Amino acid sequence: MGIRPRKAKELLLTGDSLDADEAYRLGMVSKVFPLDQLEEKTLEFARRIAERPTMAALLIKDSVNAAADAMGFTEALRHAFHVHELGHAHWAAYNENRYPVGLPPEVEDWRNAKPSKIARRDEP
């Protein structure tokens, strides 16, 4: 099972990093090797894959990808790219001091607002 949406949001919103063990536990990587054996074990693993018949490997990859697509992967990827484009558009508007789409000119820019003050019963 892949990473759950809640954990994905946590990682994306906080920018936290993961160690190899947590990435493995979350299903983000399929193997974890000790650092002192990393190169040896990685090459050994890659050789095992490379020794398989090419056509069989291509068909396996295609079948797994098709199954993932059927579960919404393609739509999720399309949406992620759309959000990526929106992020770039917003960043450009922000840096060029333009209002992002949908913010009417009569709405006060929150970046120029007065500091907030604690509401008290004895003050209006």
Q: What is the 3-state secondary structure (H, E, C) of the chain?
A: CCCCHHHHHHHHHHCCCCCHHHHHHCCCCCCCCCHHHHHHHHHHHHHHHHCCCHHHHHHHHHHHHHHHHHCCHHHHHHHHHHHHHHHHHHHHHHHCCCCCCCCCCCCCCHHHCCCCCCCCCCCC
- 16-59 pLDDT, tens digit each: 999 999 999 998 999 999 999 999 999 999 999 999 988 889 99
- 104-124 pLDDT, tens digit each: 677 777 777 788 777 777 776
Residue with tokens 């396996």: 60
pTM value > 0.75: no
Q: Where are the domains of the chain?
A: 1-51
Model confidence at 94, pLDDT cuts 50, 70, 90, reads: confident
